[in-house]
A and B are shown apart, each in its own frame.
Chain A
Amino acid sequence: MVKVTIDGIEIEVAEGTTILNAARQIGGDVVPPAMCYYTSLKDSGGKCRVCLVKVTHTSTKDPRPMPKLVASCRTNVMDGMVIQNITSPEVLEARKGVVEFLLINHPLDCPICDQAGECDLQNLAYEHGVAKTRYEEERRTFEKIDIGDKIKLHMTRCILCYRCTFVADQLTDNRVHGILGRGDTSEISTYIQKAVDNDFSGNMIDVCPVGALTDNTFRFKSRVWFTKPLDAHRNCDKCCGKVVLFTKGDEVLRVSARKDKYAEVTEYICNECRYDHKRLSDWVIEGPRHIDRNSVISQNHYEKIDLLKLKQEIERQIDFEKGKQLPEPNQSLTA
């Protein structure tokens, strides 16, 4: 076990833990956001840079600070390490920059995007971004394509987190899509329009943090916050069979894997469960699904609202904004 301090909070974690996971063990506001890291996907992370933190003290043995901000998702803790996340103006400023970079070429078409309401980029921008853009140039756009009959790829919204490629590498027997080109013109694509088609491909939709990969069988059927999410399971010989049903009346609009409070899938599901069992009677219903994160889905009056908790959450967010102590930005949040 090693001892580390994050934003003044001390914690003991197992050796080999990343800074991000150490922070998740503390929980709350000291947890850096993560857009590309995904616990269950090996080698993921390090790319989006929203999880950057400052290491002011490398270890007990080597008390020097690290020269640059580091990606907390891919940097392991050392005994005696001291880390600043939300207590470092430098980190918050850099993070604001990264959020801005992620948004400059994003279409911001949330009103017509199926991911809205459960989009990590929306949440990130809400918590860490600024209200106005400084970007006056043309945005990059791509044509929408179908990669296989079940998945719609809307490349314009992609943030190139590479998660879907790791899913294809690690969960399916053959990856037939990847990243073509380079720089800001690089794109996710299949090899000469080959269809992505295998038992676990649907998980790419669940790991995609934005609306770049969406479920063709659900597109435009409903805003997600008008659905009732239910925990359900069935006996499946291919996967765990534990899912969330997004329902409206007696209709199952979408089946997805269950996600934890960091929006990460806890257990992957097969395409049969995802696409071929769209009747309530196919499933054993366990009860309402609690959506853990700040999400509009949790505001759908479906779960009984705990007014006290809601008030606390609003206060927490106000405090969080105050606590950020933003260095004088070019545009303030209120501008």
Chain B
Amino acid sequence: MPKKLLLEHIDVPSIETFETYRRHGGYASVEKALKTMTPDAVTEEVKKSGLRGRGGAGFPAGLKWSFLDRKSEKPRYLVCNADESEPGTFKDRYLMEKIPHLLIEGMITASYALGAKTSYIYIRGEYMYIVRILERAIEEAYAAGFLGQHILGTPYSLDLYVHPGAGAYICGEETALLESLEGKRGNPRLKPPFPAVAGLYAAPTVVNNVETIAAVVSIVNGGGDEYAKVGLGKSTGTKLISASGHINKPGVYEIELGLPVEEFIFSDEYCGGIWKGRKLKAVVAGGSSVPILPAHLILKTAKGEQRLMTYESLADGGFISGTMLGSGGFIVMDETACIVRNLWTFSRFYHHESCGQCSPCREGTGWMEKVLHRIEHGHGHMHDIDLLVDVAKKIEGNTICPLGDAAAWPVASAIRHFREEFEYHVKYPEKVANPKHFELEPFRSERLELSNA
């Protein structure tokens, strides 16, 4: 049985209620931390655990916590990033919906470690029904004395609020999130200063993903060293993966980091293989922003080593032949998938979600989408393909926030690995004119030959 740290009790009936959750060992980390540990000791355990941020960038959580300006006179804040809007990623939703108290418990323990007296869960507006679930859970926690004044009779007090966004992917970027939480337009801020120094209301702030905060519970309960034994190397612990696409068993899986990618896709424990007996064509391993990889490169690295579900192994080969673990949005495509259409869909998303603050992203995302739309619908030129590569290159690294990069990477990687498919669309406009062309013969088999050649 693989190790489960987050979803162990997910199938227990009524685990969403305080009572059941508590009966299964819930809120033990709060008791342990508040009654037997200093805040710094909690931070120390998180450092030892090697836990890395689960929101996408993989920044070590303990290190981020230690950057928090503790000398400042201002209040400190912990903000949970539950904006989860990356196409392909739906793990936080599952966790909050099924086992909301795990997040609340993590928020209390983490807030104690950081010395926050007020904390927020910023959740995407589309998750309105989860807002209600969380608010109910928070109410229960207040009633049980785990929130509010003098928690469990200790001097520590905490208030916790849920704040819904208004439906913008960009508000998942931590500084845009803070702007939005302050009631302003959700534009990312220029960094530095980083939130650890000047975050919410210009006060020291830590922003962490839902899963990161939930992981703090088992770190405090079992100790950082124990947590670090799970996983592989610097990729410690377990990770929630949202698997979607052409697989037999899409869903959210908790995996121990270090699992071979091949096993994740093909074993019955996880994705259960490619549907309809088809072949694997490509995978977007960490949410729509990360580079797409063709089958042979997702299963094995360019060096021929087995590819593992770790931050390091997935990144092996850099952006030439590797990708990123990202937020764990694992999108699988079978042999019939049209890479151009898929890329156009992603580009449409980034175009729609750019905040419009800086010129390369504002103008470049729209440009790429329009060119891809033309190619996909049979109106492309050969020079459009290099144009796309160049536009992506001119966005990447030149913007205020990483959304620009997130828009550029899929384009650059799809063309790097599947250029012949783009050329096919340009060469045979009549064959791609049908909007469902990617499902039709002879397009399917002809393209297959191309990719096998």
Contacts and interface: CB of A to CB of B under 8 A. Distances in A.
Interface of A: 46-50, 52, 68-69, 71, 74, 93-94, 97-98, 100-102, 104-105, 134-135, 137-138, 140, 159-160, 162, 178-179, 181-186, 330
Interface stretch (B56-64, B87-95, B155-163, B353-361): B353-361
B190 A184 contact: no
Interface in B145-186: 168, 170, 185
A104 B363 contact: yes
A46 B400 contact: yes
A184 B358 contact: no
Contact of A47 (B185, B353, B400): B400
Contact of B397 (A68, A160, A181): A68
A101 B359 contact: yes
Given A94-B394, A183-B351, 17 more contacts: A46-B400, A48-B358, A68-B398, A69-B397, A74-B190, A97-B394, A101-B363, A101-B364, A104-B367, A137-B367, A137-B370, A162-B357, A179-B185, A183-B352, A184-B362, A184-B363, A185-B356
Contacts of A138: 370
Interface in B375-402: 386-387, 390, 393-395, 397-400
Contact of A101 (B170, B357, B394): B394
A137 B381 CA distance: 13
Contact of B351 (A74, A102, A184): A184
A65 to B, nearest CB: 13
B205 interface: no
Interface in B198-248: none
A102 B190 contact: no
Interface centre among A52, A181, A185 (most CB of B within 10 A): A185
Contacts of B371: 137
3 smallest CB-CB distances across A and B, nearest first, come from A97-B394, A101-B363, A186-B356
Contacts of A135: 367
A18 to B, nearest CB: 12
A41 to B, nearest CB: 15
A160 B366 CA distance: 15
Contacts of B395: 97
A242 to B, nearest CB: 33
Contact of A98 (B366, B367, B370, B398): B398
Contacts of A186: 355-356, 362
Contacts of A179: 185, 356
Nearest to A159: B359
A174 B150 CA distance: 43
22 contacts: A46-B190, A47-B358, A48-B358, A49-B398, A93-B394, A94-B394, A97-B360, A98-B398, A100-B394, A101-B364, A102-B359, A104-B363, A105-B363, A137-B370, A160-B356, A160-B359, A160-B362, A179-B356, A183-B352, A184-B365, A330-B386, A330-B390
A47 B359 contact: yes
B394 A183 contact: no
Contacts of A159: 359
A27 B236 CA distance: 52
A186 B352 CA distance: 11
Interface centre among B351, B362, B365 (most CB of A within 10 A): B362
Nearest to A46: B190
Interface string B126-154: 00000000000000000000000000000
A135 B190 CA distance: 29
B367 A102 contact: no
Contacts of A47: 357-359, 400
B360 A49 contact: yes
Nearest to B186: A182
B359 A49 contact: yes
A184 B363 CA distance: 6
Nearest to A135: B367
Interface in B97-134: none
A179 B364 CA distance: 19
Contacts of B190: 46, 71, 74
Nearest to A330: B390
B132 to A, nearest CB: 27
A52 B400 CA distance: 11
Contact of A184 (B170, B354, B393, B397): B354
Contacts of A178: 185
B186 to A, nearest CB: 8
Contact of A183 (B360, B366, B370): B366
A101 B360 contact: yes
Nearest to B396: A68
B59 to A, nearest CB: 14
A182 to B, nearest CB: 5
A183 B397 contact: no
A125 to B, nearest CB: 13
Given A137-B370, A182-B356, A183-B356, A52 B398 contact: yes
B359 A183 contact: no
Given A71-B190, A74-B190, A182 B354 contact: yes
B353 to A, nearest CB: 7
Given A74-B190, A183-B354, A98 B400 contact: no
A204 B37 CA distance: 57
Contacts of B352: 183
A159 B356 CA distance: 10
Interface centre among A101, A102, A160, A185 (most CB of B within 10 A): A101
A93 B395 CA distance: 11
A313 to B, nearest CB: 29
A284 to B, nearest CB: 42
